[in-house]
Amino acid sequence: MIIYDEIGAFTLGLALEVFGRALPDEGYPGYEVSIVSADRRSVTAFGGMRISATAGIAELREARIILIPAWRSNDERPPERLLFELRCAAERGAILVSICDGAFVLAHAGLLDGRRATTHWADLTDLKAKFPDIRVEDDVLYVDEGNIITSAGGASGIDACLHLVRRDFGTRIANAVARRMVIPPHRDGGQRQYVATPIPDYQGRTLSVALDWARSQLHRPVSVAEFAREAAMSERTFLRRFQEEVGVPPKAWLAAERMRLAQEILESTETPLAEVGQAVGYTSPETFRSAFRRIVGVPPSTYRERFRQL
């Protein structure tokens, strides 16, 4: 983890909570964490807190994951030594993760050219203007480009960090980490960073109630009409409100929820794949396998083999 003068303790702290605190009872060993300074060995965080590095910058050459928790100024080029080490790390296949304006550090290193990336919503225009070769995503919580993950402001970094834990250890472990932190276990990267306009008061069932209902119906097809009825809205109003509040269409949200449940079943049981598919609403095993691979990135059998061993 990179520290620097004027660092915000929140972004550093959230990453330490996710990666540095083991949960032995849950089978989560945590990560071996080193803190490396981009400036002097000891830096002053925002608010006056002093933070000391635990390792020199050469430690980056051994790191599997390098996390950049924001950056102090969009107009300041980071130290050349840091940019050089980040480029070397990317070349050897290390995973680079930025929180908030940490995306500007990766951009200065030239590592985001031609890639999708995001940052805090207030700085998206600045990122686009300064680095036109980046494919900037406006309304997302984080962007996973394989070995480079960029996330939006503050709390979105938690989503990105949990996403990486999920990639490494599986859904059950990521959910356990989220439960200890008392936060939602999964907010998809495609959700909006913020709601651009206030949502008017609605007298009746809330969207959250409809979401909970839909989660209880993942074993079968759910139509938009049913979904809207549970929210006590017309279909047109429901589709608009859903996109505004969740950031993705209902169909995409349902597909992601089905796969999340499938991941939990694959990790915790020996249920045959065909039955797993049926449990999450797919009558055809082939359709389930195709959807799982498209959304999760690997076939369900490969996912089970990997995470059942943890």
Tell me what pLDDT residue 245 has.
81
Domain layout of the chain by residue ranges: 2-181, 198-310
Please state which CATH number belongs to domain 198-310.
1.10.10.60
Contacts of 223 (CB under 8 A, 6+ apart): none
Q: Determine whether 282 is exposed, middle or buried from the number of CB atoms within 10 Å of its CB (0-12, 13-18, 19+).
A: buried
Tell me what pLDDT residue 298 has.
86
pLDDT tens per residue across span 56-85: 999 999 999 999 999 999 999 999 999 999
Tell me what pLDDT residue 190 has.
52
Q: Supply the pTM of this predicted model.
A: 0.74
Tell me what pLDDT residue 196 has.
42
Low-confidence stretches of the chain (pLDDT < 70) are 184-206, 309-310
Query: Is there a contact between 138 and 123 (Cβ–Cβ < 8 Å)?
Result: no
Among residues 97, 107, 98, which one has the least CA distance to residue 74? 107
Q: Phi first, then psi: give them for residue 144, nearest 5 degrees.
A: -105, 110
Assign a CATH topology to domain 2-181. Answer: Rossmann fold (3.40.50)
